[in-house]
Amino acid sequence: MNVGLTPPSHVRIVPFRFWQRSIYRIRQFFQGLSAHISVADRQAVTEILPDAAVALFARMPLDAQRHSLNVMYTLQTAGYDQPDLLVAALLHDVGKVAADDAGVRLGLWLRGPLVLLDAIAPAWLDAWAVADPEQQWRYALYVHRQHPQIGARWASATGCTPDACWLIAQHQASGYQANDPRCALLLALQAADGHN
């Protein structure tokens, strides 16, 4: 009988952070079910994004649009008004739409479980993900993992600035150069994203 503090080798302890993220994703799921965008929200989008990027924002599912707007509003409430940061807030998850092109929507029902699987077994996602759109669900896994880079390329193609695109590309990264002046904005974006 193991009476010490160390669990038996066959027992995997799931960190508390996993449970926090699980509760967050469940809450996000239910908020997504009732998501709506007001006329004022749409006006805010058109004032912040370049014209071509507005159409990119509109490609996202309604719940993803609401999430992105909430991230932007959280930043504004905290006093951030840098245009590149606000653009990145609105477009940080737009790359997830790439799965739609392969016929697999990374919708509300799939995004939460993918994030949880990513927390539990990221190596499985890496092993199953394939960059070939013909592989549908495996391509969806690839899109889930690579959406920051996909979104940054799309944002660049619609006229967003290099700094806004960098923020989009890095929004899930860690271990970046602390002396990069954009890092303070990136940390703010990551915090607002995690809060919403």
Q: Which tens digit of pLDDT belongs to each residue from 58-70? A: 999 999 999 999 9
| 34, 44, 66 from 38: Cα distances, Å | 13, 10, 10
CA end-to-end distance (rounded Å), the chain: 44
| Predicted pLDDT at 39 | 95
Long-range CB contacts (within 8 A, 24+) of 24-27: 24/194, 25/112, 25/115, 25/116, 26/112
How far apart CA 127 and CA 119 sit, in angstroms, is: 15
Per-residue confidence at 126, pLDDT binned at 50, 70, 90? confident
Q: What is the dihedral of CA 73, 56, 97, 101, to 10 degrees?
A: 170
Is the pLDDT at 196 greater than 80? The verdict is yes
Tokens of 138: 């495996």
Select from 95, 48, 84, 49 the least CA-distant residue to 188: 84
For residue range 170-183, what is the model confidence (pLDDT) as tens digits?
998 887 666 788 99
Place of tokens 């653009």: 87
Is the pLDDT at 26 greater than 50? The verdict is yes
Q: What is the mean pLDDT of residues 85-113?
A: 84
- Other beta carbons within 10 Å of 133: 17
* Local structure of 1: helix, strand or coil: coil
CA 100 to chain centroid: 16
Burial class (CB in 10 A: 0-12, 13-18, 19+), 189: buried
Answer whether 121's CB lies under 8 Å from 31's CB: no
